[in-house]
Structure 1
Amino acid sequence: MKTKILQLLTVTLALPIFAQYKFLDLPKLDIEDLKTTSYSKNAAEPAEVLYKTYHYYITEGELHLDVISRVKIYKKDDAKKFLEEEIYTRQGSNNTNEKITSLKVNTYNLVDGKIAATQVDKNSKYKSKENKNYSVTKFAFENVKDGSVVEYKYSILSPFMYVIPKVMIEDEVPIRYFEYVFDAPIYYGYNVNYKGELKPFKQEVADKMLYGSDSRTYRFAYKNIAAYKDEKYVNNIENYRTSVRFELNSTNFPMSGGNLHDGAISGGFKSYGVSWQDIRKQLYDDENFGDELKRNNLVKGILPEEIKSIKNEAERAAAVLKFTQSKYSWDGEYSAFTDKGLKNLISTKLGNSAEINLLLILLMRSANLNAEPVLLSTVGRGILTSYSPSIGMLNYVLASVDFDGKFTLYDATSKMTTPNIIRPAALNYYGFVMTKTEAKQINVLCPQKSVTYLTVDAKLNPDGTFGGSFSDRDTMLYGSDSRTYRFAYKNIAAYKDEKYVNNIENYR
């Protein structure tokens, strides 16, 4: 995988070549697209994205997102991904919520040689609360046939401007046109993380007057993008697809106010972290991370003395892990920060990934072990890199202990993990040990080889049949998966929304 990072650029005028291409100009639906029965370059493709655009822009201290998607359906039964859509909106504290301000959904068919539109009925759209952090609006296209074109347009208004969500450019089907636009007042400084090999055929990074203020715009346009299929043995295909993500690194406002988390940003220049050391400091200054690690009094008297008295440090750490697993359970939420806090975890025995493993760290420290937190990004969120610091990418915490210069990792969110065997969703190559004084990148993959031993003890009988025994022994990660399967089978009724395993469907 080839990764490229676009640094922030200050360009006063766009080059003349860009004047020939007009961004954010939705083409009129061509009747020829409705007449087409298959993708010209590969008749096996179930669908083709005709046009898709993401337009992020900031006005009056709020983030706007406009999305347009138009997809040609060649094989309805194989294109279900494009026929049922979900729009996630973030729910914050103090009524700082994202909201959908506009949503239009249409299916186009060819009827008697003319374009006929079918609008999705309001009753076909519904909103549900996925968890405390997100709500989801779901809808399904109506009157879809082989040959239909489905289109949706929606707008979101958001108070969250720190991390602009990552947008994947490539998809599992071919794309005819794709645009990404981000416009922000010059008071905001953003890091641009552009990852992947795909290059736009038109791009513009320029300062110009937009929405009544001096702004900086980033615009990328692509055409004729080949399908990027999933592959066997690839942990997360999105790590290799081209993507764009923006993250706030500084503000320079000529006014005073609150802080970023309260929805208003203070005046003057303020940095929001441009190195992993800066992010380390932010973590330890945060009441939902650093302050929790100071609460040693909370764990006094929790660990049995027989665990504290184990002489061998590695055995003592393993015993603390096993104790924590037996007493506390993960609620299914990934997070780098506590939600209800460690005190609530101790009383309810239920908490998110940060709460479980921060408590594990405090318990280890109470057993005279030098435990430190490891911050990382789960497989579904993408790989952390040393050259692109991002607090927004962090959503998981592990405990670590340094034994003679070698880190051993511990994860108490699963009942099945052991030292250096962590939850599969957390096996995402790299993490950062965050101590009070430094941020250090480490490898979080299992340090030893995982092996499956298959043994057959068979005897050939005179009548030509075989009799005997068969055994299957798994080690390391394979052994962890086997234990998880058995645990899932015995507790199948308890499995909802990733309660104990990363994907229960993998074990059914």
Structure 2
Amino acid sequence: MKLKFTLLTILFSSFCFAQNYNVAMQVSKSDLEHTSYSKDSTANALVIYDYGNSFVDEETFWLRFQLEQKIKILRKEGIERGEVEVKLYKGKSSKEKILKIRGATYNLENGKTVKTELTQDAIFEEENENYTLVKFVLPNVKVGSVITYSYETQSRFMSKYQPWYFQGPDPVLYSEYNTSIPGNYEYNIKLVGSIPLEVNETSLKKNCIDLRGDVGADCAIAKYVMKNIPAYKPEGFTTTPLNYIARIEYELSVIRGFDGSVDKLTKTWADVDKELKSNKDFGRQISKKSLAKNILPDDITSMPDNLEKAKAIHQFVLDNYKWNQKYERHEVSVKNTVKEKIGNAFEINLLLENLLSSEGFKVFPILVSTRGNGFATKIYPVLTDFNYLILKTTIDGKDYFLDATEPYLSFGELPFRALNQYGRLMDLEDGSYWEDIEIKDYSTRLHTIQINSFEEDIFGGVIESKSTGYQAHDLKRMYTENSQTYKEQRADKYTEISIEEHNVSDLEKNSYDFEEEIHFTLEPEFIGNKIYLNPFIIKFFEENPFKLQERTYPIDFGYKDTYTYIMNIDLGDDLNILEIPGSVNYALPNKSGTFLFNVENKDNQLTLYFKVKFDKAIYAPEFYDYLKTFMDTVVETQNNTVIVLEKI
């Protein structure tokens, strides 16, 4: 019986490839003479050649993976690339093994190429319950070296078909991955990241597996190549790197036996919905009146207004049940959570779902993957991708996302960890579907400064600060947990002023706002009779957070926000204006963000207005250079704006 293979097509595009290194395993003198990489002057090392080959051995039917790599060491921090680790998985009846470890270090000494080979005593193994960790250390590695190494692993675990990482912490000139997969196995193949493939070739090899006579299989042959791959360098305002690092992954979907049997491992969402509906850890704990019986007090159940009742139920859960900081989806028990007053995220939010449902609200659980866990796969169901649960309900025609794990969230807010673009809404009656998780409201931070006195060469005034939404969460938490420490931290941070009095408005943990008032004095800089004042006594951004030469992954703030700073100076009869800065009006492409700055004098009142607005929660990598310049302008304005006044 000849078996065929189905391969998921991956789209690709071509781009130019140019470099001055020898893209092969052979080390040339020019490889050693080069001291930098023009496309990334900050690179610690450069992967010149990266080659992988995975195939099934015809005799043993083991999966064999062969790797070859050649790396140039450019900086001292890159020397650690000479220490290589390979993790070998252990199963119940078999374990992976490694063979043919080879390695060498090449250096240029007195104009000649000197090769030092890896020795057997530089190869080590560490054992634990699940893995064998194989380490080998290449000799004589230093700045300027070129190292090469290769090895082969063998595995019986076809469900763990070798993924391939084109991208890593160093730039890569050339990365090639070859695969040969027998028709006995069908995989869902996923290309991750935004970098296109230079080569994406597939073909069919007849009779690649021939066990006996007419029993065998054809093989799907594939070759994938990327060139000139930038390093993945972590920077703020993102989710887990696994969302964006360029790679190919394999999920085993079908096993076809030589006896004609077929085992389908990947299911449809319709299959998953059916299973989850009867699942003891999920479907059987949704909308169960018995779980919500006699929990809510009468003053909540008797409330006539739907929205106010929903808010009261949400607050009731926050006040009476504590999240244990765990996410597990297994062994979920709402009943135990009610009894113990503590539970994981699934239990707490399923309790909220039951209480809302018992009062007539239509509530849908949404399975999500947190920002640190990576995106859930949309191509096919993978329940292990989901590690969190939120809720959605509609009240008086308006949709609300709900979560009851965090006491500092207001009704309708989700914890920041859950802002990961989308989730799977589980409608167990009509079928599940993907739900976008988008925060429409802006989170804001506003400082209004009124300088209303100038006595004995010292300014006096009041700062009124207001933060909303996600800008308020941490402030509420820090102040509630230790108000004295919070005030001390504010005094340490606001070094330009002396705080005379610091008050916080009546604070409720789950209010949408956080407001505070600071009475201060400020001693300005005098040169002669002139006062030089930087009006930004509070800075939103101490420095530009965007520093990379190139960023290949999105800038993900999680939510839209604005930063506003207004200062009013009453000049009175004591001060006169000599110099004020010019205005700034700066916009990101497609009106996706703005920066406004203006200073004007009217009726002896000097007014400064500064506003930064981000109109998108997520910006594509193509916006990076624009954002970088944008933030340079913002930080420059904060740090170097000077108003010159004259003491009359």
| AA in 1 matched with 2:395 | F
Post-superposition Cα deviations, 1:199-247, rounded to whole Å, max 9, x if no partner, equal 2335334355456552334331223324455566555666555443333
Distance 1:306 1:46 in 2: 65
TM-score by length of 2: 0.56
| AA in 2 matched with 1:452 | R
C-alpha displacement of 1:98? 9.6
Match of 1:176, SS? strand
Q: Is the aligned partner of 1:199 residue 2:197?
A: yes
Q: Pick from 388, 391, 397: which aligns with 1:396?
A: 388
Q: 1:357 maps to which residue?
A: 349
Q: Is the aligned partner of 1:464 residue 2:457?
A: yes
Distance 2:208 2:24 in 1: 19
Structure 2 gaps of 5+ residues are 1-5, 11-22, 211-215, 486-648
Distance 1:90 1:349 in 2: 40
Q: 2:172 maps to which residue?
A: 175
Q: What RMSD in Å do the two structures reach over aligned CA positions?
A: 4.7
| AA in 2 matched with 1:268 | V
C-alpha displacement of 1:452? 0.9
Distance 1:88 1:318 in 2: 50
Native 8 Å contact 2:239 2:374 kept in 1: no
Q: Is the aligned partner of 1:48 residue 2:46?
A: yes
The 5-angstrom pairing of residues 107-506 of structure 1 reads 108=105, 110=107, 113-117=113-117, 145-149=142-146, 155=153, 157=155, 161=159, 168-195=165-192, 196-201=194-199, 203-210=201-208, 213-214=216-217, 215-227=219-231, 233-234=237-238, 239=243, 242-253=246-257, 267-268=261-262, 270=264, 272-274=266-268, 276-293=269-286, 297-326=290-319, 327-333=321-327, 337-339=329-331, 341-342=333-334, 351-383=343-375, 390-436=382-428, 437-484=430-477
Native 8 Å contact 1:107 1:148 kept in 2: no
Q: 2:97 maps to which residue?
A: 101
CA distance 1:42–1:323, shift in 2 (3 Å): same
Which structure has the larger Rg over C-alpha atoms?
2
Match of 2:389, SS? strand
CA distance 1:313–1:252, shift in 2 (3 Å): farther
Native 8 Å contact 1:321 1:360 kept in 2: yes
Distance 1:485 1:135 in 2: 41
Distance 1:316 1:179 in 2: 59
Post-superposition Cα deviations, 1:164-184, rounded to whole Å, max 9, x if no partner, equal 687553345320222334544
Q: 1:76 maps to which residue?
A: 76
Distance 1:406 1:318 in 2: 14
C-alpha displacement of 1:67? 5.9
The 5-angstrom pairing of residues 4-19 of structure 1 reads 8=8
Native 8 Å contact 1:31 1:115 kept in 2: no
Distance 2:89 2:107 in 1: 38
Distance 2:185 2:351 in 1: 37
Distance 1:121 1:343 in 2: 58
C-alpha displacement of 1:186? 1.8
Match of 1:435, SS? coil
CA distance 1:105–1:239, shift in 2 (3 Å): same
Native 8 Å contact 1:9 1:205 kept in 2: no
C-alpha displacement of 1:460? 4.2
Give the percent of matched residue pairs that are identical in Structure 1 and Structure 2: 24
Distance 2:249 2:240 in 1: 17
| AA in 1 matched with 2:388 | Y
Match of 1:457, SS? strand
More contact order relative to length (CA 8 Å, sep ≥ 6): 1
Q: 1:500 maps to which residue?
A: none
Distance 1:292 1:271 in 2: 26
| AA in 1 matched with 2:75 | K
| AA in 2 matched with 1:115 | K
Distance 1:88 1:284 in 2: 38
Distance 2:302 2:353 in 1: 17
Match of 1:246, SS? strand
Distance 2:84 2:307 in 1: 48
Native 8 Å contact 2:199 2:223 kept in 1: no
C-alpha displacement of 1:147? 3.0
Distance 1:231 1:282 in 2: 40
Native 8 Å contact 1:97 1:158 kept in 2: no
Moved more, 140-149 or 446-455: 140-149
C-alpha displacement of 1:458? 2.1
Post-superposition Cα deviations, 1:385-427, rounded to whole Å, max 9, x if no partner, equal 7666554533322122122454311223434333332222221
CA distance 1:300–1:242, shift in 2 (3 Å): same
Structure 1 gaps of 5+ residues are 1-5, 11-24, 257-266, 493-508
Distance 1:191 1:240 in 2: 18
Count of residue pairs brought into register by the alignment:
450
The 5-angstrom pairing of residues 47-66 of structure 1 reads 47-53=45-51
